[in-house]
Chains A and B, each alone.
Chain A
Amino acid sequence: MGKVHGMSGQEELPEMETTDVSDLQLIYSVRDTLVEVTLGVRENYDELVRYLHPKRNPSAEEFAALVTTLRGLSGAVSYIDPAHHDALLFALSRLSLWNYATVVMDALLELIVSLAVSNGMYIDWCLEMLVKHFVPPIYLFDFLKETNGIEKKNKVLSRVHAALEQISDLVPLAPLRLSPIVVQKMPKSCKMSEPEIVMYVENMLRLESGAIGEIVGGTMLPALVDRLIELDVGIGWDGNLQEDVKCIFELELEEIAEFADEDENIFNMSTTDMLNRNNLQGNKVAEQLDSLIVLIFLHLESCQSSGRIAEVFDILLKSFERTVLNAYKSKFTQFVMFYACALDPEGCGVKFAMVLTEMFGSDVNPPITRMSAVAYLASYLSRAKFLSSALVASVIQRLVDWCFSYCMLHDVDMNPQAHQVFYSGCQAIMYLLCFRMRSLVDVPRLRMQLIKMPLEPMLKHKLSPLKVCLPSVVEEFLRQAKAARLFMTSESFVFNDLLESDLSKAFGGTDRLDMFFPFDPCLLKKSQSYLKPHFVHWSRVRTTYDTNDNDEDSDSGSEASDDDFVDGNAKDSIDDDMIMGVEAGLDFDADLNKMSITPKSMKYGFVTQMERGMRMPTRI
């Protein structure tokens, strides 16, 4: 390739800022070279392609030749024809921005942008090429942790995103083509290491918040949520509930130990727990999921500060309805919704509750969706520290109204399978009241509202929800109701500390929605620290029969104190935050051993834990 070669040979780097004339000459020579190929003359072309091949340690001359060639090509893009110049395109596709200095980066990106806008058929190729740069080559990851590496990362990624925006400016429909490419190229979790997928997701979120976010945002976030779900269900311990309850419980203990300052928690752990903890620490999928959730949390925070949270929440809500809601026992993904709600309690927080309530009430939805929705609703309202008691009361009112009118319409005997939606509604009400009853009865207005609700006729109806719902929930509810003097049950229920019964299994169906409490404590280490300030742990809940105001006392106190059925102390200052004693120094750690309790069949031999005062099913 005489002309180009001649020029690049003579020019050193500084001279590349040449005048227009030589730039034009360069472009013309490249153009001629490209045209010659169609006539069968390939000599110059082959040489030109050779300049583009990546070299290990390029000399100054090779470096200059590369830059010159790239610049020449960007001036002659309309002469590039995939039929004749496939070798050239292949060589270009092998160039990686991560391996070059900024001069080459700029030249290459200029070429990519020119190519993308010159001809419709290259646009996908160019977008793919840019998306490929979201993740650096594997050997660079260690380098990226250093200061220089971070600088490099910023240089590359800011250029890649700028190029994407530039293409979108010139080809307004390009973002529509970009979204499927980004989703498709998303690394498969099994093949990629954690830093790779994390970096890719960082870029996805950057696209979402960038200039073209309006168009691609609607695809990025749902795709991300789908990926989370994929990882979520990939974590071994959810496949078979019967088998896995045990593992979840142990993981929970593991987390307790991670966060605990007090030694007692560690002491409480059995040897198997310790072993299990070690196993789970190595759980790559869980760690990956954890990192991704944290990334999304941070993204949500930035959305909140830029005032976009409502908009982003709507997208998340759609994707929640589509995938998360009906995913079989999704364990962590839903906390993305929880955190978004926590960031904007008045807007998103209330909206989420309302949407779930409506989904439950709307008989167009299939029963399984309605049951999931109400399980989410109960768990969300119980666990969200940021929601007002008034909101909780209004939701309970709606649920009770629905259930009561169902009772009126169905004057039949108990049948768990036939009335599963009704039973799930009743269980949700009871579960919710286990957590919130004290905070409701302490406010006179809400107490009146609660007393006026037709709870008693509903629960004593022939459909016998008290017999069908999870015994552990019913038992705790009745205990609190009795203490609060909500109503008196004439029938006595003897559950013998059973956490589930055959009847509850029957209404829960094969998916065991009777034991589904989606917002039970998140066990992922990093995510948990974000959720902590917004989350209510069972150990922190003041029950109606709990006379102690001091959490520490009640925790260390014996079970006997729980059996004093006394109304809540009227002198207690009640605010919307129903959790008492959450002080800076006093974290939930001390109470975790008593906190989230997964209902388990006694056959697993968890009698000891049960006896330690774990009454509430809070973790499935």
Chain B
Amino acid sequence: MEGLKVSKANLVVYIHPSKSRQVSNAVLRELSSMLFAYNEIFDGIVLAYDVNSFDKCARILPGIYPYFGVKLKVNMLLFSPKPDMLLEGKVVKLTHESIHVVVLGFASAVITEKDIRKEFVYRTKHGQDVYASKSHKRHVIKVGTMIRFSVKSFDEEILHIYGSLVPDNTGSIHWLDKNLEVVSLSDRSTKKRENEGQPLMSEKDAIDGEPSSFDTVQKLKHSKKQKVRQES
């Protein structure tokens, strides 16, 4: 899955003088207030932070309230979906008109009928609504399926993703992985990706639009070792 990155940030957190006795608590509270909201400076949603170190010396601001600035080095896990990135999520609702997906357990995504490639047709199988592929009998998307989809747009305010199943390398992850014969590797990485949310693909793949799964997996392995960390 794309859209996740770990960034090293050098921050200055301003603390109210009344909190001077519990600086580290105040710092953490300040950082926590940034969670699960889009932040323009970081260009992404802060999912987690890890304070590496903070400066023992703080700068006191002149003024009526002498706020003091504490310098921090923080590792941030950021989620910033951009158009054409490939994301993964779980289908929570499926109707004729749309597929609703939850990504990473918090962001909702919707794929409307017009963004589902014609290969998929809506059917009711055993009383359950599904989108099934015409060309591959086993390629089925239903409630509970983990799917890979590409990002069409992203609403930063409400963290709502508009997705698309038009590219060929999108659809049920299970099916995609199996049919590209890299089952064992992908299965393992799928799980891990969900849990750890590491930066898994380079941006180039996403721009190219059609990286083969094999390529993806190779790159995943690569990036896992390197753990690309970007300065934000």
Q: Which residues of A are in contact with B by a Cβ distance under 8 Å?
A: 20, 24, 27, 75-78, 114, 117-121, 123, 169-173, 176-177, 364
In whole angstroms, how far apart are the Cα atoms of A426 and B92 in the complex? 62
In whole angstroms, how far apart are the Cα atoms of A169 and B101 in the complex? 10
- Find out whether the CB atom of B155 lies under 8 angstroms from the CB atom of A120: yes
In whole angstroms, how far apart are the Cα atoms of A364 and B25 in the complex? 15
In whole angstroms, how far apart are the Cα atoms of A123 and B160 in the complex? 10
B102 part of interface (Cβ distance < 8 Å): yes
Residues of B within 8 A of A364 (CB): 18, 21
- Find out whether the CB atom of A172 lies under 8 angstroms from the CB atom of B124: no
- Find out whether the CB atom of A117 lies under 8 angstroms from the CB atom of B124: no
B174 part of interface (Cβ distance < 8 Å): no
Residues of A within 8 A of B21 (CB): 364
Q: Closest A residue to B122 by CB, please name it.
A: A24
Given contacts A24-B96, A27-B96, A123 and B158 within 8 Å (CB-CB): yes
**In the complex, given contacts A24-B96, A121-B155, what are 4 additional A-B residue pairs having Cβ atoms less than 8 angstroms apart?**
A76-B97, A78-B98, A118-B112, A173-B108
Residues of A within 8 A of B92 (CB): 169-170
- Find out whether the CB atom of B98 lies under 8 angstroms from the CB atom of A173: no
Residues of A within 8 A of B110 (CB): 78, 117-119
- Find out whether the CB atom of A170 lies under 8 angstroms from the CB atom of B98: no
In whole angstroms, how far apart are the Cα atoms of A170 and B90 in the complex? 10
Residues of A within 8 A of B102 (CB): 170, 172
A214 CB to nearest chain B CB (Å): 14
- Find out whether the CB atom of B100 lies under 8 angstroms from the CB atom of A117: yes
- Find out whether the CB atom of A75 lies under 8 angstroms from the CB atom of B107: no
- Find out whether the CB atom of B155 lies under 8 angstroms from the CB atom of A75: no
Contacting B96 at CB < 8 Å: which of A75, A120, A121, A177? A75
Residues of A within 8 A of B155 (CB): 120-121
- Find out whether the CB atom of A114 lies under 8 angstroms from the CB atom of B112: no
In whole angstroms, how far apart are the Cα atoms of A172 and B92 in the complex? 11
Given contacts A20-B124, A173-B36, A173-B107, A118 and B98 within 8 Å (CB-CB): yes
A-B contact pairs, 30 of them (CB 8 A): A20-B124, A24-B96, A27-B96, A27-B97, A75-B96, A78-B97, A78-B98, A78-B110, A78-B112, A78-B113, A114-B97, A117-B93, A118-B97, A118-B98, A118-B112, A120-B157, A120-B158, A120-B159, A121-B155, A123-B160, A170-B93, A171-B160, A172-B102, A172-B106, A173-B36, A173-B107, A173-B108, A173-B158, A176-B36, A364-B18
Q: Closest A residue to B110 by CB, please name it.
A: A118
- Residue with the highest number of chain B CB atoms closer than 10 Å, among A20, A24, A117: A117
Residues of A within 8 A of B63 (CB): none
Q: Closest B residue to A177 by CB, please name it.
A: B158
In whole angstroms, how far apart are the Cα atoms of A76 and B107 in the complex? 23
Residues of A within 8 A of B106 (CB): 172-173
Q: Closest A residue to B102 by CB, please name it.
A: A172
- Find out whether the CB atom of B100 lies under 8 angstroms from the CB atom of A170: yes
Residues of B within 8 A of A114 (CB): 95, 97
B105 part of interface (Cβ distance < 8 Å): yes
- Residue with the highest number of chain A CB atoms closer than 10 Å, among B18, B21, B96: B96
B105 CB to nearest chain A CB (Å): 6
In whole angstroms, how far apart are the Cα atoms of A585 and B116 in the complex? 74
What are the interface flags for B89-132 relative to A under an 8 Å C-beta threshold, 1 for contact and 0 otherwise? 00011011110101001111010110000000000100000000
Residues of B within 8 A of A120 (CB): 155, 157-160
Residues of B within 8 A of A176 (CB): 36
In whole angstroms, how far apart are the Cα atoms of A20 and B96 in the complex? 11
A99 CB to nearest chain B CB (Å): 27
Residues of A within 8 A of B98 (CB): 78, 118
In whole angstroms, how far apart are the Cα atoms of A173 and B156 in the complex? 13
Residues of B within 8 A of A123 (CB): 158, 160
B155 CB to nearest chain A CB (Å): 4
Given contacts A173-B158, A173-B159, A117 and B108 within 8 Å (CB-CB): yes
Contacting B97 at CB < 8 Å: which of A20, A75, A172? A75
Residues of A within 8 A of B112 (CB): 78, 118
B198 CB to nearest chain A CB (Å): 21
In whole angstroms, how far apart are the Cα atoms of A177 and B157 in the complex? 11
B154 CB to nearest chain A CB (Å): 9
Instruction: List B129-169 residues whose CB lies under 8 Å from chain A.
Output: 155, 157-160
Residues of B within 8 A of A169 (CB): 92
Residues of A within 8 A of B97 (CB): 27, 75-78, 114, 118
B3 CB to nearest chain A CB (Å): 16
Residues of A within 8 A of B158 (CB): 120-121, 123, 173, 177
In whole angstroms, how far apart are the Cα atoms of A118 and B93 in the complex? 11
In whole angstroms, how far apart are the Cα atoms of A78 and B110 in the complex? 10
Given contacts A120-B158, A364-B21, A171 and B108 within 8 Å (CB-CB): yes
In whole angstroms, how far apart are the Cα atoms of A176 and B37 in the complex? 11
Residues of B within 8 A of A24 (CB): 96
In whole angstroms, how far apart are the Cα atoms of A414 and B110 in the complex? 72
Residues of A within 8 A of B96 (CB): 24, 27, 75
Residues of A within 8 A of B93 (CB): 117, 170
B95 CB to nearest chain A CB (Å): 7
Closest 5 pairs between A and B when the two form their complex, measured CB to CB:
A120-B160, A120-B158, A171-B108, A120-B155, A78-B112
In whole angstroms, how far apart are the Cα atoms of A170 and B143 in the complex? 11
Q: Closest A residue to B103 by CB, please name it.
A: A172
In whole angstroms, how far apart are the Cα atoms of A435 and B112 in the complex? 70
B99 CB to nearest chain A CB (Å): 11
Q: Closest A residue to B22 by CB, please name it.
A: A364
A190 CB to nearest chain B CB (Å): 33
In whole angstroms, how far apart are the Cα atoms of A75 and B96 in the complex? 8
In whole angstroms, how far apart are the Cα atoms of A135 and B88 in the complex? 40
- Find out whether the CB atom of A172 lies under 8 angstroms from the CB atom of B160: no
What are the interface flags for B78-89 relative to A under an 8 Å C-beta threshold, 1 for contact and 0 otherwise? 000000000000
In whole angstroms, how far apart are the Cα atoms of A170 and B36 in the complex? 17
In whole angstroms, how far apart are the Cα atoms of A114 and B102 in the complex? 15
- Find out whether the CB atom of B108 lies under 8 angstroms from the CB atom of A170: yes
Q: Closest A residue to B20 by CB, please name it.
A: A364
Q: Closest A residue to B157 by CB, please name it.
A: A120
Q: Closest B residue to A31 by CB, please name it.
A: B97
A369 CB to nearest chain B CB (Å): 11
Residues of A within 8 A of B107 (CB): 172-173
A119 CB to nearest chain B CB (Å): 7
In whole angstroms, how far apart are the Cα atoms of A380 and B159 in the complex? 46
In whole angstroms, how far apart are the Cα atoms of A20 and B105 in the complex? 32
In whole angstroms, how far apart are the Cα atoms of A24 and B124 in the complex? 13
In whole angstroms, how far apart are the Cα atoms of A118 and B112 in the complex? 8
Residues of B within 8 A of A76 (CB): 97
A70 CB to nearest chain B CB (Å): 15
Residues of B within 8 A of A119 (CB): 110, 160
A314 CB to nearest chain B CB (Å): 16
In whole angstroms, how far apart are the Cα atoms of A119 and B158 in the complex? 10
In whole angstroms, how far apart are the Cα atoms of A170 and B94 in the complex? 11
A215 CB to nearest chain B CB (Å): 11
Residues of A within 8 A of B100 (CB): 117, 170
Q: Closest A residue to B101 by CB, please name it.
A: A170
In whole angstroms, how far apart are the Cα atoms of A170 and B112 in the complex? 15
In whole angstroms, how far apart are the Cα atoms of A416 and B38 in the complex? 52
Residues of A within 8 A of B124 (CB): 20
In whole angstroms, how far apart are the Cα atoms of A77 and B110 in the complex? 12
In whole angstroms, how far apart are the Cα atoms of A117 and B98 in the complex? 10
What are the interface flags for B155-193 relative to A under an 8 Å C-beta threshold, 1 for contact and 0 otherwise? 101111000000000000000000000000000000000
In whole angstroms, how far apart are the Cα atoms of A329 and B112 in the complex? 57
In whole angstroms, how far apart are the Cα atoms of A170 and B105 in the complex? 10
In whole angstroms, how far apart are the Cα atoms of A173 and B104 in the complex? 12
Q: Closest B residue to A24 by CB, please name it.
A: B96
Residues of A within 8 A of B113 (CB): 78
In whole angstroms, how far apart are the Cα atoms of A119 and B100 in the complex? 11
